RNA sequence: CAGGGUGUAGCGCAGCUUGGUAGCGCACGUGCCUUGGGCGCACGAGGUCGUGAGUUCGAAUCUCACCACCCUGACCA
């Protein structure tokens, strides 16, 4: 491809709307243009990247035995009413009416449609297992779209759905999809991690997320370097401390702590570490009465875990300041279990503490030397906090580290959640009607592009992994308009490289070198060959990899061979 | 949805306090010049100042309403 016949639209300055680096670079490089909030046009350069990602996803899905189909984006309400999600899904579901005032939605996902396809088609165990997928635009009316295509409302997703006669078959396909996803992200050249995940709203049991590792990622991942344990922090178990609770030594004393409202205030005021404090959080209970949660001062409450407690109302709701004031006679910031009559749940770490500091249920007062059992009744104990770096790994093989990631894939065992409500039945070998087992497997294709940039960039722009770069090689002539030698050499090189199967972008604009270099670096082309009169005097050209700081001088006659070896090698 | 912020040329911004008919940089067009890191000079094109209503002789500027976009939203115990 020649720049003169392509469409580059690079910007020197990033539009003000872009906050995160991948969004800024995608706009500056002209990969995408925003149409409206959370809705983007994929410009020609960006589309090349997207197509390369799609191609890899498609190849690996096909290789894993999945079969591609394409379902409609617009879906009738009847199917969603049947599954119960027309009511459940809420405002994220974009609802439409046709000219007859019939209800439709723009599909945010396709369990209903694929289930309808399969129940019409599949009658026998002989037709199972079946794994169907598509690569298609979804629309989810996010509360707050952000970060460009990373959290867009309209986005491209690869979604697959598998159907099985039994759980063993589901397990097998689930494993195949796990391996398939690992191959996809490996081929894309991304640093990623598969983590055990919460099943969230979709439900079902087994679930793994695939995260591209990046410091700016929205999700925190706990992993164990000494084993293969990895889990989303929402799920990662904080195991009980190995040491039992020490005996109480200190006496309970009321301390005047004027103006202290936060754990940080408290530590500064008493000059003690946060590990010796306990914070009390009040949430609404299932029975309508508040529940007091106790978490060590330096720990964070985990809302996903908390939401699974039977005593706690779903979704987890923090009690209002008014309710707290009425019940405790103190403001949030001075609360504690002493004298509290309602339900108390302590985190496992708190249950193993002695002589700690806690709010006294009176503004500006705390207790020091507080002890469970002695000063207030033994509370219920549960895992309700986020793990932190250094916590013991739940598999008992070392300690956890925390890193951040961007979720780009998610696989679920749905089991029979949809198949039973949607009547996905088949006849088994004995002629008995049974409900199918189901799995579903998603990849955010557009999000992968943003995540890749988030993970791979520098101050000059994007550094695309080779597999997803819009072009493999930038061919930059210097002074092409002036030097016939440069012009002829670069044209011949362009022909030879293209013939050798290399995806070349020839910058034939006859711009000044700085312009060409800056553009090719910004758009992230992983390799560059420069042809100038200076080098040609010695029969040489210049090669430089995007991520590397220095250029190499290569003999002109070896150029094609060298470039090929670099592209196929390392 | 709640809180905060911003809407002026394709992009980044100034002008608004104190009302008088819009400007800068980049990008774009033409010409000259230049060719190993966003070069220089000259000329030029491009704006219903988000929309509507109001105040005023006069509104980008003041008032009101609306719209769009961006940021933050358990971590507070």
pLDDT of A472-524, one tens digit each? 999 999 999 899 999 999 999 999 999 999 999 999 999 999 999 999 999 99
Q: Give the number of C-alpha atoms closer than 13 A to the C-alpha of residue A438, restricted to the C-beta side.
A: 29
Q: A296: Cβ–Cβ under 8 A, 6 or more apart, which residues?
A: A274, A275, A277, A278, A279, A347, A349, A350, A353, A385
Nucleotide at minimal C1' distance from the A320 CA:
B76
Gap from A5 CA to B11 C1', Å: 23
Q: Is the same domain home to A131 and A58?
A: yes
Q: Does residue A564 form part of some domain?
A: yes
A230 shares its domain with A149: yes
pLDDT at A200: 52
pLDDT band at A246 (very low <50, low <70, confident <90, very high): very high
Q: Is residue A462 part of a domain?
A: no
A528 touches A476 (CB < 8 A): yes
CB < 7 Å to strand B — which of 245-284 in chain A?
A: 261-265, 278-283
Residue A464 domain-assigned? no
Task: Confirm whether any atom of chain B, the nucleic acid strand, is less than 7 Å from CB of A141.
Answer: no
Strand B closer than 7 Å to the CB of A530?
A: yes
pLDDT digits (tens, 9 = 90+) for A10-44: 999 998 888 899 999 999 999 999 888 899 999 99
Last residue of a domain, one of A321, A349, A382: A382
Number of domains in chain A: 3
Q: Which of residues 444-503 of A touch strand B (CB under 7 A)?
A: 460, 478-479, 481-482
Q: What angle do CA A401, A406, A409 make, to 5 degrees?
A: 110
Domain that holds residue A439: 3-236+402-453
Q: Is A245 domain-assigned? A: no
CA atoms of A72 and A67, how far apart (whole Å) = 16
CA atoms within a 13 Å half-sphere pointing along the CA-CB vector of A270: 26
Q: Is the CB of A149 under 7 A from strand B?
A: no
pLDDT at residue A199, as a whole number:
60
Reported ipTM: the value is 0.91
Tell whether A139 is covered by a domain.
yes
Q: What is the DSSP letter of A481?
A: T
d(CA A335, CA A539): 79
The Cα-based distances of A493 to A411, A496, A506, A545 in angstroms read: 45, 5, 10, 18
Picking from A391, A421, A453, the residue at the C-terminal end of a domain is: A453
Residues A371 and A501 in one domain: no
Q: Are residues A375 and A284 in the same domain?
A: yes
Report whether pLDDT(A202) > 60.
no
Per-residue flag: A512 CB under 7 A of strand B: yes
φ and ψ of A34, to 5 deg: -80, 135
Residues A376 and A415 in one domain: no
Mean pLDDT over A130-136 rounds to 97
Please indicate, yes or no, whether residues A124 and A22 belong to a single structural domain of this protein. Answer: yes
Is residue A248 in some structural domain?
A: no
- Whether A391 maps to a domain, the answer reads no
* CATH code for position A304: 3.90.960.10
Q: Are A88 and A208 found together in one domain? A: yes
Q: Is the CB of A33 under 7 A from strand B?
A: no
User: Do A13 and A145 belong together in one domain?
Assistant: yes
User: For residues A499 and A481, what is the distance between their CA atoms, to the nearest angstrom?
Assistant: 24
Provide the CA A255 to C1' B44 distance, Å, integer. 77
**A166 in the same domain as A137:** yes
Query: What DSSP character marks residue A217?
Result: -
Residues A219 and A299 placed together within one structural domain of the fold: no
d(CA A334, CA A525): 57
Has residue A390 been placed in a domain?
no
Distance A38 CA to B73 C1' (A): 19
The CATH number of whichever domain residue A511 belongs to comes to 3.40.50.800
Same domain, A156 and A42: yes
Co-location of A346 and A421 in the same domain: no
Nucleic strand B near CB of residue A315 (< 7 Å): no
């Amino acid at each position: 491809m020649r720049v003169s016949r392509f469409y580059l639209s690079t910007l020197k300055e990033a539009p003000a709307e872009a906050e995160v680096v991948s969004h800024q670079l995608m706009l500056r490089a002209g990969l995408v243009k925003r149409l409206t909030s959370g809705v983007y046009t994929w410009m020609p350069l960006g589309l090349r990247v997207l197509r390369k990602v799609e191609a890899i996803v498609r190849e690996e899905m096909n290789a894993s035995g999945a079969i591609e189909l394409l379902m409609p984006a617009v879906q009738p309400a009847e199917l969603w009413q049947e599954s119960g999600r027309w009511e459940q899904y809420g405002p994220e579901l974009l609802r439409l009416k046709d000219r007859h005032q019939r209800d439709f939605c723009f599909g945010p996902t396709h369990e209903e449609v694929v289930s309808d396809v399969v129940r019409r088609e599949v009658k026998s165990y002989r037709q199972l297992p079946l794994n169907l997928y598509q690569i298609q635009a979804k629309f989810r009316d996010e509360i707050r779209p952000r970060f460009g295509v990373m959290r867009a409302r309209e986005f491209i997703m690869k979604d697959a759905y598998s159907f099985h006669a039994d759980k063993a078959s589901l397990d097998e396909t689930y494993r195949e999809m796990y391996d398939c996803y690992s191959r996809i992200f490996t081929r894309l050249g991304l640093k990623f991690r598969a983590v055990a995940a919460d099943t969230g709203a979709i439900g079902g049991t087994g679930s793994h997320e695939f995260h591209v590792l990046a410091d700016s990622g929205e999700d925190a991942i706990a992993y164990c370097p000494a084993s293969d344990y990895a889990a989303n922090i929402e799920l990662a178990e904080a195991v009980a401390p190995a040491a039992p609770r020490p005996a109480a030594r200190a006496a309970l004393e009321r301390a005047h702590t004027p103006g202290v409202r936060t754990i940080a205030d408290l530590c500064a005021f008493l000059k003690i570490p946060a590990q010796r404090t306990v914070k009390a959080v009040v949430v609404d209970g299932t029975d309508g009465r508040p529940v007091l949660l106790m978490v060590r001062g330096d720990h964070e409450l985990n809302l996903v875990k908390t939401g699974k407690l039977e005593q706690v109302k779903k979704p987890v709701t923090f009690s209002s300041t008014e309710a707290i004031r009425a019940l405790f006679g103190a403001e949030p910031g001075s609360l504690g279990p002493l004298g509290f009559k309602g339900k108390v749940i302590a985190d496992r770490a708190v249950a193993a503490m002695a002589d700690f500091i806690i709010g006294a249920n009176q503004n500006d007062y705390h207790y020091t030397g507080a002890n469970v059992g002695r000063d207030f009744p033994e509370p219920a104990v549960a895992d309700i906090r986020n793990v932190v770096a250094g916590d013991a790994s739940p598999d008992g093989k070392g300690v956890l580290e925390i890193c951040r990631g961007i979720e780009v894939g998610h696989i679920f065992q749905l089991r029979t959640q949809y198949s039973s409500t949607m009547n996905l039945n088949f006849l088994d070998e004995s002629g008995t009607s049974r409900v199918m087992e189901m799995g579903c497997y998603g990849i955010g294709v557009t999000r992968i592009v943003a995540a890749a940039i988030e993970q791979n960039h520098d101050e000059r722009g994007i550094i695309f992994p080779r597999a997803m770069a819009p072009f493999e090689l930038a061919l930059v002539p210097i002074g092409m308009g002036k030097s016939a030698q440069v012009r002829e050499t670069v044209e011949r090189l362009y022909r030879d490289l293209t013939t050798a199967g290399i995806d070349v972008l020839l910058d034939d604009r006859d711009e000044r070198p700085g312009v060409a270099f800056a553009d090719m670096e910004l758009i992230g082309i992983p390799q560059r060959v420069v042809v100038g009169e200076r080098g040609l005097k010695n029969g040489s050209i210049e090669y430089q990899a995007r991520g590397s700081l220095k250029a190499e001088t290569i003999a002109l006659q070896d150029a094609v061979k060298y470039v090929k070896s670099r592209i196929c090698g390392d």
